Copies of this chain bind each other. A is one copy, B any other.
Amino acid sequence: MGVNYFSDDEREFVIKNMYPVRPLVNYLWNETAFAELNHFGFGYSKACINKRFRNIVNNVRLVYVKDLESGEFFDINRNLRDLPYDVFFSRVGLGYQTIESSYRGIYGTFTVLIPETENVELHKITVKNVSDKPRRLSVYPYVRPAVNLNGHLAYGKGDYDEKIGGLYYTFHAFNENNPYQESFYKCSEKASAYATDDRKFIGVYGRLDMPVALRKGMPESCGTAFSDCYCAAMQIDLGLQAGEEKVIYSAVGIGRNREECQALAKKYTEEITFTCEYKKQRTSNETYIEKFKTTTPDKYLNSVTNIWLKRQVTLGKTWGRIYGKGFRDVLQDITGFVSFDGARAKDRILYTLQHQFISGNGLRMFDPTLDYPYQDMPVWIPMALLAYLKETNDFSVLKERIGYYDDERKESVFLHLKRGMDYLYAHQGEHGLGLWGGGDWNDSMNNCGMLGKGESVWLSIATVKATDDYAEILTHYRGETGIETIVEDALNKKKQLIDNIVTYGFEKDHFIYGINDWGEKIGSYECEEGKTYLNPQTWAVIAGILDNTQSNKLMEHVENNLKCAYGYVQNVPPYTRPDEHIGRMSYFGVGLYENGSVYNHGVMFKIVADCMLKRGDRAYETLKMIRYDNPENPDSGTEPYAVSNMYFGPGAFTNKGHAPYSWTTGSAAWMYRAITEFMLGIRADFDGLIIDPALPSAWNGVTAERVFRGVKYFVSFFRGENKGVYVDGKKIEGNKVPLFEKGSTHTVKTVF
């Protein structure tokens, strides 16, 4: 058991401790399928078909190896039998996962990959004889293909298929609108036997660690039907000389018919295909890595900024939070993603906006669908569009005509944007604040406004921020007439809204969260629990509701009230009693999710707010607190290479500080932006690159490379005299570096 480490050159995180607090997860994906794999290569892979998930592999992938002389066997990727392996580690790659192990002279590797397109998983298996004598082995690749699409087993069957040259499973169900009713598994090597049913391979009373097929020999090769435990297992017999290695490629996937299965199986078990797809994964990530690289005194921060956050944001921009693609989630992730892949960002913005209602609000979640009257969807539209426009200056996007979720009309993105903003201002309550409805960012306060009366202060603050973004977009947009009037109108409404926020939302030293349907303040000193919340404060800073002094005081309120040893909690004190006037948040256990956890998405808002107020040290300290290596929270279980959604709060019943999962959180995009755009302060603008750092006081000599509109800027930050921004050695006015010819490179030295 060794120490895990980042291997930046390989773009890998290497897991040497194979038994961490919890399994460490990696995601592999393309635009239609994904796999959620742990460091043993176990986990579900799925495709989203007609807005429903359709599993590809049900969790288990194993490669057993049996020595035919001794009869001994082990598995390459899980060590199910707790054997004394000589080598056992896992490599978390960008788009693949590899497990390597060695036992009694056999060195094996197992790699899983999702190719660029298609609902297929590729496996590469290598088996090498590292002993000094010839070995006779049987290798048994084993997976659990998802065959049963519903509970009626009588539709399913599977068997070896000559045309496919592998295993072929069908589930031709009556009245099943999923066209993907077939699946396959094929190996590049000839198998001497196969199994399609766990009852045969594992045994009716068997266990994965001791399959009957390994203990007693493979059962007769045959198909199966009416099974609730399909498997795909092959026996591949190998004779390996000392030092000899054998490579096996295999593929498991789903298809609409036998021809499709056959074609996929053939293509994806060829060496050339695997090699090519492996390269594609790496290349696509390389492009992203090239777009922004920084070297700070903090090595870990460099790794995550240059490599891993981008990867996480890329997952989010396509798959949202995995259990579904959230309107607000995808749009936020795009704000992070746009700086390294503008074209794909545009595509995702357009797809997301097709889930906007004609009212202007958006569907909470699509693929699969979740429709509940959350009120904040329009808030995120200007933010994503503004980020896209500043990065690309491609205003043509505003003219793209796309449909609505509940209306056949196609309208320009500009009108989508406008309808969103109009919705926000049209839906205000008696205090002139945004109607709370089913909730906002905090979608677990889902019962505060369902009667149509409650108003959310946070939502109102976010609307102010959205209005500024909106106005900024429109001010630069020449594509419509009457824009000036629209801007003026929006800014007037915003002014009034700010007045209302301050009048009704500010209390002593902080903003409350809102006023619910029953006229009760939430997040107020009047409350017994949940007296103050994090997000209204940080967003008041982000939206510039108050002046600088007051904003700093707000952040002191945050420091004094919401800080714990490993971050900042969402609210204090957390709710201990279910309250129907609030919603499910108050039903959650203390310290879980929105109810008093360190919800990292909120912490990232806080870091951005710190940076905006030039509280660089605070920002950096906060960043370090929520990291996996915070000594105050050593057993959080989080993946060092992915931001977690939350840490259980200090009030949690058990497992305080635990991070149950990572990857699927808005934190990644905000963390990426916080570091690159607010701490380093390198921000795209319509006509140049803004340099506006808020670095921690101990940092000096930080560098960064940023590709912007095809130009590479080498940015450096030094503390010293003659403060200013020097472009190619010459000081410029202000802090906006101008645009240059595509393909050119320039130095930007910042002295501060």
Chain A residues in the interface with B (C-beta under 8 A): 19, 21-23, 152-157, 159, 172-175, 204-205, 207, 209, 222-226, 446-447, 578, 583-584, 587-589, 592-593, 595, 648, 652-655, 660
> Which of B155, B578, B652 has a CB less than 8 Å from the CB of A587?
B155
Instruction: Indicate if the CB atoms of B653 and A223 lie closer than 8 Å.
Output: yes
Instruction: Indicate if the CB atoms of B653 and A173 lie closer than 8 Å.
Output: no
Instruction: Indicate if the CB atoms of A578 and B174 lie closer than 8 Å.
Output: yes
Instruction: Indicate if the CB atoms of B207 and A207 lie closer than 8 Å.
Output: yes
Chain B proximity of A104: nearest CB distance (Å)? 22
Chain B proximity of A258: nearest CB distance (Å)? 15
Among A19, A21, A224, A654, residue most surrounded by chain B Cβ atoms (within 10 Å): A654
Chain B proximity of A601: nearest CB distance (Å)? 16
Instruction: Indicate if the CB atoms of B654 and A584 lie closer than 8 Å.
Output: no
* Residue in chain B with minimal CB distance to A173: B587
Contacting residues, chain B, for A205 (C-beta < 8 A): 19
Chain B proximity of A94: nearest CB distance (Å)? 26
With A154-B593, A205-B19 known to touch, is A655 a contact of B225 (CB < 8 Å)? yes
Instruction: Indicate if the CB atoms of B589 and A154 lie closer than 8 Å.
Output: yes
With A653-B223, A654-B222, A654-B223 known to touch, is A588 a contact of B207 (CB < 8 Å)? no
Contacting residues, chain B, for A21 (C-beta < 8 A): 204
Q: Complex: how many Å from CA A533 to CA B225?
A: 23
Contacting residues, chain B, for A589 (C-beta < 8 A): 154-157, 225-226
The 6 closest A-B pairs by CB, nearest first: A174-B584, A154-B588, A154-B592, A174-B587, A225-B653, A225-B589
Chain B proximity of A33: nearest CB distance (Å)? 22
Instruction: Indicate if the CB atoms of B587 and A172 lie closer than 8 Å.
Output: yes
Chain A binding surface SS class? loop
Instruction: Indicate if the CB atoms of B224 and A654 lie closer than 8 Å.
Output: yes
Q: Complex: how many Å from CA A225 to CA B159?
A: 43
Contacting residues, chain B, for A223 (C-beta < 8 A): 653-654
With A172-B587, A174-B578, A578-B172 known to touch, is A660 a contact of B22 (CB < 8 Å)? no
Instruction: Indicate if the CB atoms of B157 and A653 lie closer than 8 Å.
Output: yes
Q: Complex: how many Å from CA A655 to CA B157?
A: 12
Could you list 23 A-B pairs, sorted by A, with CB under 8 Å?
A19-B204, A19-B205, A21-B204, A153-B660, A154-B588, A154-B593, A154-B595, A155-B587, A155-B588, A156-B589, A172-B578, A174-B578, A174-B587, A175-B584, A207-B209, A224-B653, A224-B654, A224-B655, A225-B589, A225-B592, A225-B652, A225-B655, A226-B660
Q: Complex: how many Å from CA A589 to CA B227?
A: 11
Chain B proximity of A410: nearest CB distance (Å)? 35
Q: Complex: how many Å from CA A153 to CA B645?
A: 14
Contacting residues, chain B, for A584 (C-beta < 8 A): 152, 173-175
Q: Complex: how many Å from CA A595 to CA B175?
A: 17
> Which of B154, B157, B209, B654 has a CB less than 8 Å from the CB of A225?
B654
Chain B proximity of A569: nearest CB distance (Å)? 15
Chain B proximity of A42: nearest CB distance (Å)? 11
Chain B proximity of A653: nearest CB distance (Å)? 4
Contacting residues, chain B, for A154 (C-beta < 8 A): 588-589, 592-593, 595
Q: Complex: how many Å from CA A23 to CA B209?
A: 20
* Residue in chain B with minimal CB distance to A19: B205
Contacting residues, chain B, for A652 (C-beta < 8 A): 225
* Residue in chain B with minimal CB distance to A597: B154
Q: Complex: how many Å from CA A248 to CA B583?
A: 43
Q: Complex: how many Å from CA A225 to CA B595?
A: 14
Chain B proximity of A73: nearest CB distance (Å)? 16
* Residue in chain B with minimal CB distance to A594: B154
Among A156, A592, A652, residue most surrounded by chain B Cβ atoms (within 10 Å): A592
* Residue in chain B with minimal CB distance to A78: B205
Contacting residues, chain B, for A660 (C-beta < 8 A): 153, 226
Chain B proximity of A202: nearest CB distance (Å)? 13
Contacting residues, chain B, for A204 (C-beta < 8 A): 19, 21-23
Chain B proximity of A696: nearest CB distance (Å)? 34
* Residue in chain B with minimal CB distance to A587: B174
Among A172, A174, A222, residue most surrounded by chain B Cβ atoms (within 10 Å): A174
Chain B proximity of A578: nearest CB distance (Å)? 6
Chain B proximity of A586: nearest CB distance (Å)? 8
Among A23, A226, A593, residue most surrounded by chain B Cβ atoms (within 10 Å): A226
Q: Complex: how many Å from CA A172 to CA B576?
A: 11
Chain B proximity of A39: nearest CB distance (Å)? 11
Contacting residues, chain B, for A593 (C-beta < 8 A): 154
Q: Complex: how many Å from CA A509 to CA B152?
A: 34
* Residue in chain B with minimal CB distance to A197: B654
Contacting residues, chain B, for A648 (C-beta < 8 A): 226
* Residue in chain B with minimal CB distance to A591: B225
* Residue in chain B with minimal CB distance to A156: B589
